[in-house]
Amino acid sequence: MADPLVAQAGAVEFDEPSAPPKPPIPDAPPRPFGKLYAIGDIHLSFKGNREALQELAPKPNDGLILVGDVGESSEHLTIAFSKAKECFQTVFWTPGNHELYSLRAEEQAEGGSLKGEEKYLHSIEVARAFGVITPEDPYQFWWCEGKNGEAVPYLIAPIFTLYDYSFRPDHVKLEDAVAWAREENIEATDEYMLHPDPYPTREAWCEVLVNRTAARLTETVAHYGLGVKVVLAGHWPLRQDLVNLRLIPRFSIWCGTKQTEDWHRHFNAEVVVSGHLHIRRTDWRDDVRFEECSLGYPRQWKECQDKGMGINDFLREILPGPTYEGVDKAATIWRRFG
């Protein structure tokens, strides 16, 4: 089979917050405010991508979001986090499916063959050892200058949601989803290497993650008020209509969950950042900017390398972001070259 990269869960109940009150928004740091960039799917299991990462340029006043698929092992995470922290003031990370893969002990000396949630929590420990902010840490504010020169805080929320096979046609039942993809010779490696332990299925784990994240975001927005501007950053796209896989459309079942379809509205998102698709693009939904900012496997950006481009050309500016004045926000900006 080729690896190209619970029935549909009901709408999430957005309960009233029950956690202890959060602190007020902190004071703005000294100006000038730094920029916030993002990149995903750097796949450090490939030598060419590891070499490319070493060319990452220092931006000591700026921040970086790594939106998953850094690699499969603790070694890959260590390489990524050490280099990112060397170059950026603040680094955020959220896992992709590759970080969750269970490897043989000889392939990963530290972490070994951990499965499911244990593998995820082990990756969290590696990130925290480098001071990298994860989905399990308090959300952080990032400050930018507004149109009138005022200081504007944005709440950066790394999220981990997984998928539940609900990105499929209505006529395909959940229990038939993987077989439906196999009909076109498509099957994700996840089916063999991404274990849901201790949950019975990946969709059950997804349900837990979605409900937990929704409750946390609900509580956070309720605390800071509807005026708070949020950046949602996760590996999987939040909306099915942003999964445009022309050559492998049935891979969509491994690309997210319909439970997050309206999160950009529910949680006051200014920008939503994702990876996973290896198809770089910028879209708008309800005047919210969606950024797919993956690098991809070496063969997928070789044409860019042939033009003299490197990893720094693929860093997507999230904040403050381009103005996009005069841009047709009903259309997609395809980012073939970064």
In the chain, domain spans: 36-323
pTM, two decimal places: 0.91
Residue 239 has pLDDT above 70, yes or no: yes
pLDDT at 112: 59
Give the pLDDT confidence of 30-43 residue by residue, as tens digits. 999 999 999 999 99
In angstroms, the Cα distances linking 31 to 27, 77, 317 are 12, 32, 18
Domain 36-323, CATH homologous superfamily name and number: Metallo-dependent phosphatases (3.60.21.10)
109 pLDDT tier (thresholds 50, 70, 90): low
DSSP letters, 31-100, are: SSPPPEEEEB---TTSHHHHHHHTTPPPEEEEEEEE-S-S-SSHHHHHHHHHHHHHHEEEEEE---TGGG
Give the pLDDT confidence of 56-107 residue by residue, as tens digits. 999 999 999 999 999 999 999 999 999 999 999 999 999 999 999 998 754 4
Residue 19 has pLDDT above 80, yes or no: no
Average pLDDT over residues 186-201: 97
338 pLDDT tier (thresholds 50, 70, 90): confident
